[in-house]
Amino acid sequence: MDVDMVEEAEGTSRKIQVRFVTKLKPPFKVPNSVISIPANLTRFGVSSVINSLLEATGDPDYKPEPFDILIDGELVRMSLEEFLAVKGISVEKILEIEYTKVVAPRKEEDPALHDDWVSAVDGSSSRFFLTGCYDGLGRVWEGAGLCTYILEGHTDAITSVSVINHKGAGTCTLATASNDRTLRLWKLNLDEAIEHPMKISAFKILSGHKDTVKSVGTQTSGEMICSGSWDSTIKLWQTEFDVEGDVSIKKRKVKDQDEESQLEGEAVSTLLGHTQHVSSVVWPQRDTIYSASWDHSVRKWDVETGKDSLNIFCGKALNCLDVGGEGSALIVAGGSDPVLRIWDPRKPGTSAPVFQFASHTSWISACKWHDNSWFHLLSASYDGKVMLWDTRTAWPLSVIESHSDKVLCADWWRSDSVISGGADSKVCISSQISVQ
């Protein structure tokens, strides 16, 4: 069978024999037969061929989709014949081409407006997302434009937010960090009927840092959190869900004082080693914390001993950090240049990044791996853009340009959306992103 209605150049192109394969489910599976296509097709032309083959199957559930293509596990970003020449692959043999849906948003939700810069976001709960703002307020959103709770109490800008226990229904605990040198813990009753938006106060204030608390990370069990501060330290805190029984989310008076003034927590321990501001912390495994700092280093900490067992210097002040990807082991960080760097600590010579992505044009403010993919991650930058990446190609899969100013934070939400906040005082939601 010849499919040559989509030749991309004038005149005739040499043909190559291909077989298409996919992990997609019907109606997106083409027949397994070998076909002949022009060698000068790029991924857009190949996508047209695949759609023509799918249309010919007559499946009533099929709708045209843009597809990306992979050869030998690498995303193709040039014509087929150029790719084969670069990789030294013979054009005489039957070429197996894997196709997958393009990773790009298909919808932009209406932005959620804030009163000041949006500096923090957490999309780890499928029921809601959480934002932090320079106006000192945290906000809980059930969706675009629907704010259900306002977290009131910080006396300066919120710098970081975290959903602590979001797996079950009912009560949920949140953590916020602030320029006011404190962290606060909050309880939500997600099943309670309330008038929106409901203002709530923290049930616990965590004090001890001597400067801005820049980042908060949650242990996977939810029993503890860690915080990174401008005072160059990392502190560990108990969340103590059962303190004084089930603490109501409403303000209670205790001897004419608000309950929040009665519950102040002290750090369980302090991790020392960074020599400059600690800008980002994550707690991906029970006994392991990772941190990034303006001292140009990424460190891996043993929670039990308080010692750092890995110390990667990258030559740039770092703003953001995440751990995930292949084997949930890859470290990604961004900072005071436009380069997103990824390290694999399982490999010898760990100080050299295994990937470097350089499409941003300004400092990188946020980076986050996708929860359900070994390959996909996002980055946000002061250049006003959010970019979606796949480690199988050096070029961004998609560039989201929803913001009119610096993007300060970004996260995945519900596996198929990206939430981002910025200096334009907006939270933008880019949705219907297909990540396999």
Give the structural domain span for 174. Answer: 107-431
Kindly write down the DSSP assignment for every residue of 106-166, as one continuous string: SEEPPPEE-SS-EEEEE---SS-EEEEETTS-EEEEEETTEEEEEE---SS-EEEEEES--
Residue pLDDT, tens place only, 154-191: 999 999 999 997 655 678 999 999 999 999 999 998 88
Query: Residue 123 domain-assigned?
Result: yes
Residue pLDDT, tens place only, 31-74: 999 999 999 999 999 999 999 999 998 888 889 999 999 999 99
For residues 191 and 215, membership in a common domain is answered with yes
Average pLDDT, integer, range 374-388: 98
The residue among 53, 81, 101 that closes a domain is: 101
For residues 87 and 134, membership in a common domain is answered with no
Closest Cα partner for 423 from 435, 409, 436?
A: 409
Residue pLDDT, tens place only, 320-363: 999 999 999 999 999 999 999 999 999 877 689 999 999 999 99
**Count: domains in the chain:** 2
Burial of 349 (C-beta count, 10 Å sphere; 0-12/13-18/19+): exposed
* Unique residue bearing structure tokens 């005739």: 12
For residues 196 and 345, membership in a common domain is answered with yes
* 232 in Cβ contact with 277 (< 8 Å): yes
Query: Residue 25 domain-assigned?
Result: yes
* 97 in Cβ contact with 417 (< 8 Å): no
For residues 42 and 149, membership in a common domain is answered with no
Q: Could you tell me the CATH number of the domain that includes residue 26?
A: 3.10.20.90
The tokens of 291 are what? 């941190």
Query: Residue 436 domain-assigned?
Result: no
Model pLDDT, residue 436:
79
For residues 283 and 380, membership in a common domain is answered with yes
Q: Could you tell me the CATH number of the domain that includes residue 111?
A: 2.130.10.10
For residues 188 and 312, membership in a common domain is answered with yes
* 268 in Cβ contact with 257 (< 8 Å): no
For residues 236 and 286, membership in a common domain is answered with yes
Average pLDDT, integer, range 386-402: 97
Q: What are phi and psi of 55, to 5 degrees?
A: -65, -35
Q: Which residues contact 263 (CB under 8 A, 6 or more apart)?
A: 203, 204, 205, 243, 244
